[in-house]
Amino acid sequence: MPDSRDDRPTTLLLIRHGETAWNAEGRIQGQLDVPLSPRGIWQAARLAERLAERQGDEPIDAVVASDLARAMLTAQPLAAALGRDVIAEPLLRERHFGRFQGHTLDEIAAQWAADFHRWRDRDPAWSIPDGESGAQFIARVFAGLARVVAAHPGGTVAVVAHGGTLDVAYRAARALAWDAPREHVMLNASINRVQARAGAPAALRLSILDWGDVAHLGSARDELAGA
């Protein structure tokens, strides 16, 4: 007899990784493996405390993270507080920003003006040189989230990932086009509660329950605002 949880949506606590030095500098990280800054380490500890305290109200069944260091380092204190291991999911990595990685917006605009404008046009079919297109990134993120939901039907999963990953999920939930102006924040170490139901073919139906919760921090950075 199937578990009744299979018929219930999965709750995803989508969490952007803690702050890094490159976040503070406005430098594109992409898939470069940048560790947390001291502030990011502090944020990860506060996040763990907050979610551990909520276990009685909303037990977390698993902790999943992008395998990049900044996500894993954010997830580890939470997993330790819950007595769990972090499940690494490479599909939830940030977008591969190709030649833009390691540079600020001003540097990109000065060195590769044409590519910078193509990127800012947000054409999902356009690939950043040596990197991913928006369409490739979206498909990868959805494959990763679908894998999480399939593994934990009806459960609650903390998913630590990246600003771009959260952007994909938010836009899907709100039916917001890839090139539409951003109306949402992606704050470091924020908690963003999303309900997910598996759909066919291999698609997810997402809905926002709560977004941009940083009560455990007081404030947090969104250096991508306007980007």
Question: Annotated catalytic sites, by residue?
Answer: 17, 94
DSSP conformational letter for 6: G
- Spell out the residues 6+ positions from residue 83 whose beta carbon is closer than 8 angstroms to its own: none
Question: Where would I find the H helices in the chain?
Answer: 21-25, 38-53, 69-82, 105-111, 113-121, 134-151, 163-174
Which of these, 105, 115, 133, lies nearest to 223 by C-alpha position?
105
- Spell out the residues 6+ positions from residue 212 whose beta carbon is closer than 8 angstroms to its own: 184, 185, 187, 190, 192
**Quick one: how many helices (H) and strands (E) in the chain?**
7, 6
- 63-102 burial code (b ≥16 CB/10 A, e <16): bbbbbbebbbbbbbbbbebbeeebbebebbbbbbbbbbbe
Pairing of strands 203-213, 191-199: antiparallel
